[in-house]
Amino acid sequence: MTYPIIPLTPTWSNPETETADIAKTKYGEVGVEQRTTKGINTISSAWDINVNIINFAEVDEFLRTRRGSPFRLSLDDTTDDGKLYICKEWTIQQQGVTAAAFSGKFEQVRRFL
């Protein structure tokens, strides 16, 4: 199955957060913990996107059509980063007739392809 690329390119100022998937087990009353990674994919990525865009109607329509389904993200307008993302909520604040400020969080999801 092919996944579409969102028509939005993040800029350099948008942070990517990586989160390790760790299971904690406490022993005894003193709170000694053992930590182990869970699963085969132990680190997930998320992007906090805040950009000014001119194609805000196209981006909004893309996310509405996906309805939480995975999509790909291009960092250079030509190739994707090899990961799948979902966007559960986003904000588009219109700044003029042809410009808007977009903000949203793209969370990495894993699928068996």
**Which domain covers residue 41, as residue numbers?**
16-109
Does residue 78 lie in a domain region? Answer: yes
**Structural domain count of the chain:** 1
pLDDT of 39 strictly over 70: no
Rounded to an integer, what distance in angstroms lies between the CA atom of residue 60 and that of residue 13? 21
Q: Considering the domain boundaries, does residue 1 fall inside one?
A: no
Residue 8 is assigned to a structural domain of this protein: no
| Lowest-pLDDT choice from 14-18, 63-67, 81-85, 94-98 | 14-18
Q: Do the domain assignments include residue 2? A: no
Q: Is the pLDDT of residue 106 over 60?
A: yes
The answer to whether residue 76 sits within a structural domain is yes
Residue 64: inside a domain, yes or no?
yes
Query: What is the predicted pLDDT for the residue at 110?
Result: 78
Residues in contact with 87: Cβ distance below 8 Å, sequence separation at least 6, in sequence order? 6, 63, 66, 68, 71, 104, 105, 106, 107
- Better pLDDT: 33 or 66: 66
Domain presence at residue 9: no
Q: Would you say residue 52 lies in a domain?
A: yes
